[in-house]
Amino acid sequence: MKLKSCITGILLMFLTNAATAILPARDSGQLLVVSDIRISGNKKTKDYIILRELTFRQGDTLSLSNLQTALSESVKNLQRQPLFHFIETGIEYGNHADDVIVNIKVQERWYTWLWPVFNFADRNFNAWLEKGDISRLSYGLFLQQENFRGRLEKLHIRFMAGYQQQLMLTYEAPYLNARKTLGAGLILTGARERETAVITTNDKPEYFRHDDFLRHYAEAAAFLRYRPGIHLSHTLTAQFGSYRFSDTLLALNPEYAGVKTKETVIPLLSYLMKADFRDQRAYPLSGWYADALLEWTGILPSADYDYLTLRSSARWHLPLSQRWNLATGGAVKLSTHGTKPWFRNQGLGYHRDYVRGYEYQVVDGDNFWVAKANLRYALLPLKIIRISRLKAEQFNTIPVSVHIGAFADAGRAWRGKPGENNSLQDKLLFGSGLGIDFVTYYDKVVRTEFSLNREGKAGLFIHFMAAI
């Protein structure tokens, strides 16, 4: 019986990266007291950051089965944070028959990166690759400090040069109070651009380049986040942006700023609610996620703009068997009437909001919806590769998985100025195809997909995040 239990435990550790020690056989309903929680492997991360994500506390009384369930859920909570490669848990008895000690061992990531950045002017890699113009790249450095001071703080500094110049500072402190429920952050951005998208023509953004700067802007945003439990969070953000446009830019598209003046300010207030019940962030295989963002642009009486935008998305991940997985998701955006700057009123074709097969196109509109579905098969389930020659544990243990699958997307954007020779607005878009996903550590995902859209146009596209 003990041999069978040990084998089961080893298999569970391999498949989930979370090993729960098997206690001597006892009634699963027996009540046990968590007398101690012992954490190891966290050379930088503070203990309280890990304890915050657990669904149980020292001194809690739980049945053996409930404690094992709580450990499994706690590992998922920790995996959603950008902190650890692997998490192992174990249970052992204490000095008394009903006391247990919970052991948590983590393997930390590398938290400080200085990246060279090559940024293309287009919306995504595929749109840039269509032309392949190296001169349209901007370059710079990106200092990425995750888990700053071991307190899950985030510090990002980004510097860009070239045709699109930018300096951005992001700082976030997740916990400000003793209960670890309130956090706050600040984002400061200054930029000027010699090249920018100026108008949509033939269902594609048309870019214009000039020796002089076409647009200057500075933005400051401060946010307060409330996270009372594990899965739900509420974020209130106040942002103020100051913009200056060149005469050339406004002549190319009089609706670019939405107003006829060369300078404008855009104040806004937003509220974001998130619910995250996924097993992990980068490439989830089970659970669900939902968010809702309500944004009021032009909150000041003197502002040039005054409209509301509601954007919401949801994603579901359903394991069908050990290797098969179904993922579905959707997003919707609704806006009230009002003066809107063209460059901020994005429809389909930006960020995650696109129908696969239309990566080269955009669809302007005040409103849109998009729905996606993926059926995936784990061609290579999670495999752990160990490189003994590398001494740094943040790099010598590499998780790798490969998934193949089929997908189908649909979407529609409507209401808004259609522009010149644009035919996709207020039209049902549909795309389907086959793809292969490569997933490895530090949340890196590379997707290669062959798509066919409703217009009969096919293409091979590359993306760097999970589709759903």
> Do 46 and 185 sit in the same domain of this protein?
no
| CATH code of the domain covering residue 420 | 2.40.160.50
Per-state percent for the chain, helix, strand, coil, to nearest 5: 10, 50, 35
Quote the pLDDT of residue 13.
Answer: 39
CA distance 11 to 24: 18
Quote the pLDDT of residue 26.
Answer: 55
CA distance 420 to 390: 57
Q: What is the pLDDT of residues 368-400, one digit of tens each?
A: 999 999 999 999 998 888 887 877 777 788 889
Residue 173 lies in a domain: yes
> Do 199 and 279 sit in the same domain of this protein?
yes
Provide the residue range defining the domain that includes 41: 2-107
> Do 151 and 11 sit in the same domain of this protein?
no
Report the length, in residues, of the chain: 468
> Do 267 and 221 sit in the same domain of this protein?
yes
Quote the pLDDT of residue 402.
Answer: 96
Residue 468 lies in a domain: no
Among 53, 75, 107, give the residue marking a domain's end.
107
Residue 188 lies in a domain: yes
Quote the pLDDT of residue 121.
Answer: 66
Strands 31-40 and 99-108, by their bridges, are parallel
> Do 101 and 144 sit in the same domain of this protein?
no
Residue 233 lies in a domain: yes
Please answer whether residues 293 and 270 qualify as being in contact, where contact means their C-beta atoms are separated by less than 8 angstroms.
yes
Among 68, 83, 107, give the residue marking a domain's end.
107
Say which residue the tokens 């203990």 belong to: 47
Quote the pLDDT of residue 180.
Answer: 94
Q: Which residues of the chain have pLDDT under 50?
A: 1-25
> Do 12 and 61 sit in the same domain of this protein?
yes
CA distance 413 to 366: 7
CA distance 84 to 355: 33
> Do 39 and 175 sit in the same domain of this protein?
no
> Do 101 and 174 sit in the same domain of this protein?
no
Among 90, 107, 124, give the residue marking a domain's end.
107
Quote the pLDDT of residue 419.
Answer: 64
> Do 121 and 98 sit in the same domain of this protein?
no
CA distance 298 to 413: 24
Number of domains making up the chain: 2
> Do 116 and 143 sit in the same domain of this protein?
yes
Q: What is the DSSP string of 212-258?
A: S-SEEEEEEEEEEEE--SSSEEEEEEEEEEEEEE-HHHHHH-TTSSS
CA distance 18 to 9: 10
CA geometry: angle 70, 73, 76, nearest 5 deg: 150
In 111-152, the DSSP E strands lie at 112-120, 137-148
Residue 308 lies in a domain: yes
Q: Which two tokens stand for residue 110?
A: 């590398």
> Do 97 and 161 sit in the same domain of this protein?
no
Q: What is the DSSP string of 242-253?
A: EEEE-HHHHHH-
Quote the pLDDT of residue 422.
Answer: 87
- Amino acid at the residue 197: A
Quote the pLDDT of residue 446.
Answer: 94
Quote the pLDDT of residue 15.
Answer: 35
Phi, psi for 9 (deg, rounded to 5): -65, -40
Residue 435 lies in a domain: yes
Q: What is the DSSP string of 371-426?
A: EEEEEEEEEEEEEEEE-TT---TTTSEEEEEEEEEEEEEEEEEESS---BS---TT
> Do 91 and 122 sit in the same domain of this protein?
no
Quote the pLDDT of residue 310.
Answer: 97
Give Cα 143 to chain centroid, integer Å.
19
Q: Which two tokens stand for residue 349?
A: 């074709």
Residue 274 lies in a domain: yes
Residue 123 lies in a domain: yes
| CATH code of the domain covering residue 70 | 3.10.20.310
Radius of gyration of the chain (CA): 25
Quote the pLDDT of residue 418.
Answer: 60
Neighbours of 256 (CB within 10 A): 20
